[in-house]
Structure 1
Amino acid sequence: MTQQQSVRDGTRPVAGRPETAERSGPRPAGDRSERADATEAEVSAVPDRGTVRLALTIAGLLLALLGGFALGRTNAGPGTASAGAAGTGSATADHTHPAGTPSHAHPGAGPGGGDAGGLTLSAAGYTLVPAGTSFTAGRRDDLTFRIQGPDRRTVTGFAVVHEKPMHLIVVRRDLTGYQHLHPTMTPDGTWSVPITLPDPGIWRAYADFTVREAGGAEVPLTLGVDLVVAGAYVPRPLPAPAREATVGELTVTYEGTGQVGASAPLLFRVFAGGNPVTAIEPYLGAYGHLVAVREGDLAYLHVHPEPELVDGAVKFWITVPSPGRYRLYLDVQVGGVVRTAGFTMTVD
């Protein structure tokens, strides 16, 4: 019973108006005693005004605190989502050069240029969905896949980067058998490319592409998937670090070494019969393509060169994400033939 109800009902004593004044005439002793007991019980059951005031103050403080907490949680939502969105970039491939240089930053590069890519099937809401991943050693077969968007629909809009909308790199787990392929897409978004995996083991396929979204934004990505070739896997040791590689009648050398977390130049020169080859031809819109794969987890770095030759050399800028050994694969075209030179680079 509240204080106001007690006053209206006439059950709570009020100053200047004693309970006994409501009756006239004498009252039996027993009645007076019972009534007094009831009155005392009612008075003790109703808190005084100070207590009510204190309770209301405490309740108000609690409500204010709870409201502030809820508001903070609400305001924190967008910030958290933005941080997550920014972080997705680091899950994509590294393909960068120093700020201010004209060389190409490849799809998937993070802001610092040292993020490794190709380690996951999915990034930034996009997923690589292969139709099959089992192959027979030495037999030509088709690798078929599609890219699924954040809405779980098959993506059909891709930007052309270096003259192709899709670059597919394949390498075995021991870093042998490198292939650089270019799948074709059907109108429904299905990609397909003939492929021959010569040896048993686990192979890594990297899909390197840029999605063109409906609003015009372009999302560069590199997604990876394992391909399985049945049979006894006999890994080959990684070749020792060397500055020179022979490919057919050509010799390729390189200068420079990657640095962890910083862009560093690599210069590749081509020789034939001991003489510099100056007629290096553009291939897919550049004078060369360089892929670096980290030993162990097969993290992927893809770097394109400066737009022009530098003193007859193909110059790249590379940023490596960690110390370790990396296998470098250089694609260059001379006399209409694309050749791949392989190097092992150690980064301390």
Structure 2
Amino acid sequence: MNTASKLGAYAVGLAVVFGGALGVGNAFGEGTPAPAPPSHGSAHTTPTQAGAKPQDDTPGGLQVSQNGYTLNPLTTVKTGEPTDFRFTVTGPDGKPVTDYQVQHDKKLHFIVVSRDLATFQHLHPEQAGDGVWSVKLTLDAPGAYRAFADFAPAGGSGLTLGMDVPVAGEYAPRALPAVSRTAQVDGYTVTLTGDLVPGQASKLTLSVSKDGKPVTDLQPYLGAYGHLVALRAGDLAYLHVHPEESDKAGPEITFYAEVPSGGDYRLFLDFQHAGKVRTADFTARAGAGQPKPAAEPSVSPSHGDDHKH
């Protein structure tokens, strides 16, 4: 499939809901929020197969097992040591799932974050014929980490399972970065407009510039010009969104997303330019009485294809 076809697969205003069933929105933009975009098969709703329990209102990523599917780690991780991290997803029959739908160019997306939301990695594991997934994973500091498997089994809808990945050693959690509308990474500046509003669906826009000039030649990454993951501080409820359809390669990338509650969220935007994927990160607050965002931008290191922050 060519790039234009891939990008065309994303209908205008794609929205993804925490856990699929909460049905409450996010907004990035003051005033009247935009209408909720139509739902899609790639949204993170739980499978509705014969014998499966009805979908509940638990946000995505909070459960290691849901609707008969279970995430199973097979490897432990040591501080600073590259690890061939292996895991399976077992299905309702108790056997490893081997058949997956391709979503956003991959059969499974694997997100690893520290519990304090200071580090972020978006990885793409390889699947063996026996249903075992493996990926090179390095965690540079001891502490508590959370891993998310984002996938859709063949014949089912997409869902996100989460599991803890502990790394032994002395651990000092870091404070959540201040709310900000600007992030800098590898010489790029990314500006966020709008405000998260629980209970409403509306858009957020991220604009990419370099050396003070708008970037208008972004390159597709995972079938789109941007890829966004949002995590709720405190419990790490998971939200995965993609931008609305556009034939413009920047500087603006527009998303529709929904959040289930007020509070602080961490947003991680992956974008590709000049052949390299970079990640810009923000702290955003949903709800009334939001503080004025910090004037100073956050600074992120550079990232590779399977990148980390």
> TM range, normalised to the smaller chain?
0.7 to 0.9
**Whole-Å separation in 1 of the counterparts to 2:150 and 2:178:** 28
How many pairs does the alignment contain? 253
Aligned pair 1:328/2:292, yes or no? no
**Whole-Å separation in 1 of the counterparts to 2:151 and 2:189:** 31
Alignment of 1:146-157 (within 5 A): 146-157=88-99
The answer to whether the Cα contact below 8 Å between 2:20 and 2:60 also exists between their aligned partners in 1 is no
Letter in 2 for 1:128: L
Aligned pair 1:195/2:137, yes or no? yes
**Whole-Å separation in 1 of the counterparts to 2:247 and 2:118:** 28
Q: Which one of the candidate residues 106, 128, 131 is aligned to 2:43?
A: 106
Give SS of 1:325's match: strand
The answer to whether the Cα contact below 8 Å between 1:95 and 1:107 also exists between their aligned partners in 2 is no
Aligned pair 1:243/2:181, yes or no? yes
Cα offset, 1:267, TM superposition? 0.3
Letter in 2 for 1:340: T
Give SS of 1:280's match: coil
Q: Which one of the candidate residues 59, 65, 89 is aligned to 1:122?
A: 65
**Where do 5+ consecutive residues of structure 1 fail to align?**
1-87
Letter in 2 for 1:142: D
Kindly tell me: are residues 95 and 322 of structure 1, through their superposed partners in 2, closer, same or farther at Cα, counting changes over 3 Å? closer
1:24 maps to what in 2? none
Q: Which one of the candidate residues 92, 103, 115 is aligned to 1:161?
A: 103
**Whole-Å separation in 2 of the counterparts to 1:234 and 1:158:** 38
> In proportion to residue count, which structure has more helix?
1
2:290 maps to what in 1? none
Q: Which one of the candidate residues 157, 167, 182 is aligned to 2:124?
A: 182
**Whole-Å separation in 2 of the counterparts to 1:104 and 1:199:** 38
2:201 maps to what in 1? 263
Give SS of 2:157's match: strand
Cα offset, 1:256, TM superposition? 1.1
Kindly tell me: are residues 115 and 224 of structure 1, through their superposed partners in 2, closer, same or farther at Cα, counting changes over 3 Å? same
Cα offset, 1:105, TM superposition? 4.6
**Whole-Å separation in 2 of the counterparts to 1:188 and 1:156:** 7
Q: Which one of the candidate residues 257, 275, 280 is aligned to 2:218?
A: 280
The answer to whether the Cα contact below 8 Å between 1:95 and 1:105 also exists between their aligned partners in 2 is no
TM-score (norm 1): 0.68
* Deviation per residue, 1:197-248 (Å, 9 max, x gap): 1111110000000000xxxx22211000000111111111111111101101
**Whole-Å separation in 1 of the counterparts to 2:237 and 2:207:** 26
2:305 maps to what in 1? none
Give SS of 1:135's match: coil
TM-score (norm 2): 0.76
The answer to whether the Cα contact below 8 Å between 1:121 and 1:225 also exists between their aligned partners in 2 is yes
Q: Which has the higher contact order (CA 8 A, sep 6+)?
A: 2
Aligned pair 1:347/2:289, yes or no? no
Cα offset, 1:162, TM superposition? 0.6
Kindly tell me: are residues 344 and 95 of structure 1, through their superposed partners in 2, closer, same or farther at Cα, counting changes over 3 Å? closer
Letter in 1 for 2:234: G
**Where do 5+ consecutive residues of structure 2 fail to align?**
1-18, 28-33, 48-54, 288-309
1:46 maps to what in 2? none
* Deviation per residue, 1:52-92 (Å, 9 max, x gap): xxxxxxxxxxxxxxxxxxxxxxxxxxxxxxxxxxxx9549x
The answer to whether the Cα contact below 8 Å between 2:193 and 2:206 also exists between their aligned partners in 1 is yes
**Whole-Å separation in 2 of the counterparts to 1:201 and 1:318:** 30
